[in-house]
Structure formats: C-alpha cells, structure tokens
Amino acid sequence: MKVEVISKGLFSLIVDEGRKGKQRQGFSQSGPMDEIAYRWANFLAHNPDNTPCLEVMGKMTVCFHEPTIVAVAGRQVKVQVNGHDQPSYSSIKVNKNDRLSFESEYVGSKAYLAICGQWKVPYHVDSACTVVRESLGGLHGDGRVISDSDCIDISRCDEQTYATLSVRQLPIRHSMSMQHGISIKHSMSIKCGENVAYDLNAPLRVIKGYQEAHFSQVAKRMFESSEYTVSSSIDRMGYRLTGADIASSLSSMRSEAIHVGAIQVPPDGQPIIMMRDRQTLGGYPKLGCLNPLDVSRLAQRVPGETVSFIFQNSEEARADILLSRQHVQRLRGEIA
C-alpha cells in the first residue's frame, strides 16, 4: 500500500525507537523526541513497538491508496480526514483516497502519525531513523527528511485480520500527566477540554550527576528556583535554554558520553538539554540528567515557553518511571 505525502509540513521525518548499542561507533541514539506520544501512536494503530512513525512539525497532509488504520498522537493535535474532525490518541479507519491532515496547535511541537502495517523503508545501522546530521536513514537512506509527493510503502495486514482490528482510544480521563508519572499535586494545571493534556507546568525532574560537584550551591539553587525560557535554538540535538547563569568552575575536561536529557552547561552558563540526535561524546560540564519521562515533555515545548526544574534522587526517579510504565501497561490492557 502506498501512502502519499501531499504536504510535508515544516519538518517531518521517519523515526523508530532509534539505534541501540551504536553510540560507541559514534552513531546518535536517535529515535522519537516525544517517546511517549510515539509509543501511543503505534499502539493505537495496532502496530508493534518499534514500528516506524512519521514525526511531524507543522501541518502534514497524506493520502492513502488503500483502506487502513492510523493514529495520531502529540501535543494538542488537530486531526482531520477529508476536512472532518477526528480524535487524536485514537485509531482512525481511513478509506481509499482519504486525505488525512494533522498538526499540533503549537508551532514546533511534534505530532506522530502511525500507520498500521509493515513499513517497507530502508534500515541503516539497525534502525529506520532519519538523522540529517549523519546523512543516515529516511526514505532514501541518506538522511533526507520527508518532502512533498514522497511515497511510503507499507504492507498492510490481510483483509481478514484487518476486519477484526478494533478502534482503540485513549480515554480522556487518563491525562498525560499520569503517563509522565507526575503526582496530582503538580498536575492541577491540566485544563479541561484539552483532549490529552501535556502537563507542562510541572517542573522538569532532574537527577544530579556528572560534574555536579563543580557547580556551586548557589548555581544549583538558582537552577532550581528560576524559570528558563526555551530559546529558538532547539533541534533534535539539543534544546538551548536562556535564564539564570549557572556556569561551573570546571574549565576543561575530557570528552565523555552524553546521556539523553543531560544538562550541559557551556562557559556562557546557559544550559543545553541534550536530546535524541545529540553527539555521542562531548567535553562540556554537565549538572545532571532529566528524568527520562521529562525528555518527552520538554520535547513538546516551543520557543518562548518557560520551564522550571526540580531535583529528585535516582530512587524517586526510578519509582516514577516504574509507576508510569505500570500505568501505561494497565491502560493498554484496558484499551486493547
């Protein structure tokens, strides 16, 4: 089955869970910026985990050459089929020649389109992920992002199986905050009427580590007590924030591995949160790492929005993550 891209949006690419075990060869981890939304999209489209999806900024329109099931997930995503509104975070059955359009209400936020079936796209270094900087992956295998009139070949399941696929829908009452593992006291800000709310006001959780000892107590207190603005320098490599200066006392260090969510502080004192397509090694001091659940939340923030941080220890972080995974597992069981 062919899926034709009528309009690519601002910046769209193919992602799966990313490259595993290849950072020692210099390949970026890659993978979806908002892993939580990506996983829901695939699940709701009846795909196994790690199936490729389209990660889309801006408004994308695609046309289906055969009937299939799709799902769109992300931050405040508006979805339409042939001009009629459809729910996000839900399976959508589309027919031959249907046109699906979707976009996040926030320019710069990411929406994920999952399409049921086996994606016939090239795999490089064990993944279908597109990494522009590495000229790797994507439809042509050379790191090119999606362009208008690209066609994605997806082999659909047989008619019989297709007929049995149910419509899966994420219940509205299960707000995103639960999946991000944020306690109720932080999630009061979820607005009613938002289909799936990203609880963006809760502080991003940080586990201190790396060169933490080289940051002064004052710098750490400043970091936790002030608000940072998401700058316009944000991409799949990292999110540069502006706000209180928290430079460390370390002038030079040897390059070392940068984990996802690492808070890197160059000499100008302005933190950069390292994201999916970050370089594997780097020599700037790092204050710690975001809780992995909050990497997805940060990924959906757009320039001009503010974020704040709260320290937690690794035991608390682990508890949050395990609870969140249990919750997602239970939800999946209820929906399936």
Partner 1 sequence: MQPFGSIKQFVPVGADAIMLYFSGSDLEHANAACQQWLRVLDRAASHSERPWLVECVPSYDSLLIIFDIERVDSHFVYNTLRSWQNGGNTISGPAVGSPAGGKTEIAAGKCHTLPVWYGAPDANDLVEISQKTSLSIEEAISLHTSIEYKVYAVGFAPGFGYMGDIPTQLQCPRLSTPRKKVPKGAVAIADRQTAVYPSESPGGWNLLGLCPENMLDKNNQPLLSAGDTVKFVSITESEFNAYHEG
Binding site for partner 1 (CB under 8 A): 20-21, 23-27, 124-125, 133-136, 207-210, 254-257, 259-262, 279-282, 288-292, 314-315, 317-318, 321-322, 325
Q: What angle do CA 237, 17, 133 make, to 5 degrees?
A: 30
- β partners of residue 63: 4, 99
Q: How far apart are CA 70 and CA 44, in angstroms?
A: 8
- β partners of residue 86: 79
Contact predicate 11/58, CB 8 Å: yes
Of 23 and 51, CB closest to partner 1: 23
Of 151 and 257, CB closest to partner 1: 257
Q: What angle do CA 35, 36, 38 make, to 5 degrees?
A: 60
Of 231 and 279, CB closest to partner 1: 279
**Smallest gap, in angstroms, from Cβ of residue 20 to partner 1?**
6
Contact partners, residue 158, CB within 8 Å, separation at least 6: none
Backbone φ, ψ for residue 211 (5° rounding): -95, 30
**Smallest gap, in angstroms, from Cβ of residue 295 to partner 1?**
10
**Smallest gap, in angstroms, from Cβ of residue 324 to partner 1?**
11
DSSP 239-287: EEEESS----S------EE--TTEEE--TT---EEE-TT--SEE-S-EE
**Smallest gap, in angstroms, from Cβ of residue 128 to partner 1?**
14
**Smallest gap, in angstroms, from Cβ of residue 320 to partner 1?**
8
Q: Report the half-sphere exposure of 125 (CA within 13 A, side-chain side).
A: 26
Of 125 and 222, CB closest to partner 1: 125
- β partners of residue 290: 206
Of 21 and 304, CB closest to partner 1: 21
**Smallest gap, in angstroms, from Cβ of residue 255 to partner 1?**
6
Burial of 66 per CB tally in 10 Å (0-12, 13-18, 19+): middle
Output the CA torsion 39→44→47→48 (10° steps).
Answer: 50
Q: How far apart are CA 4 and CA 63, in angstroms?
A: 5
**Smallest gap, in angstroms, from Cβ of residue 59 to partner 1?**
30
Q: How far apart are CA 122 and CA 210, in angstroms?
A: 37
Of 159 and 315, CB closest to partner 1: 315
Of 136 and 139, CB closest to partner 1: 136
Of 119 and 210, CB closest to partner 1: 210
**Smallest gap, in angstroms, from Cβ of residue 210 to partner 1?**
6
